[in-house]
Amino acid sequence: MKINWIRVYKIIQSPVSKKFNSLMFSRRAQMLDEKIKAYNPYKAAEVMRDIRIEFIKDNSSSTWYHFLRKSMGVLVAILMKDKSISELEAKNILIAKFTRKSIKSIKAQRKKTLN
């Protein structure tokens, strides 16, 4: 399958779907799990999009962290293979899209954290 990464990045940065927000928590969690298990970059991007607001509100929540980690894991693996880049490069790209920051600022923040 040819992956349109521009489309993936646009999905990550697009607003949360109204349908997702209207669902009960248990149904949202089930839907997110199904999308991650599909191992499809577009579905994994939808997970990142749908959890962004909740994750920003409560980034210490193990639930939202779990979904972020799982969806990022799928996308990182596919991105590394498709673009022949390192895991760190793939993570930097996806974190930049998720947080709507530049890759340069993500790298600087990571470097600052390590020092």
pLDDT digits 0-9 by tens, 88-115: 999 999 999 999 999 899 888 888 888 7
Q: How high is the mean pLDDT of the chain?
A: 93
Q: Distance between CA 65 and CA 48 in Å, rounded?
A: 10
- Residue 66 predicted with pLDDT over 90: yes
Q: What's the pLDDT at 111?
A: 82
Q: What's the pLDDT at 42?
A: 98
CB 23 within 8 A of CB 31: yes
Ordered by start, the domain boundaries in the chain are 5-114
CB 36 within 8 A of CB 44: yes
CB 55 within 8 A of CB 12: no
Q: Distance between CA 81 and CA 90 in Å, rounded?
A: 10
Instruction: Please state the pTM of the whole predicted model.
Output: 0.90
Domain range 5-114, CATH class: mainly alpha
Longest alpha-carbon distance in the chain: 42
Confidence bin at 1 (pLDDT 50/70/90): confident
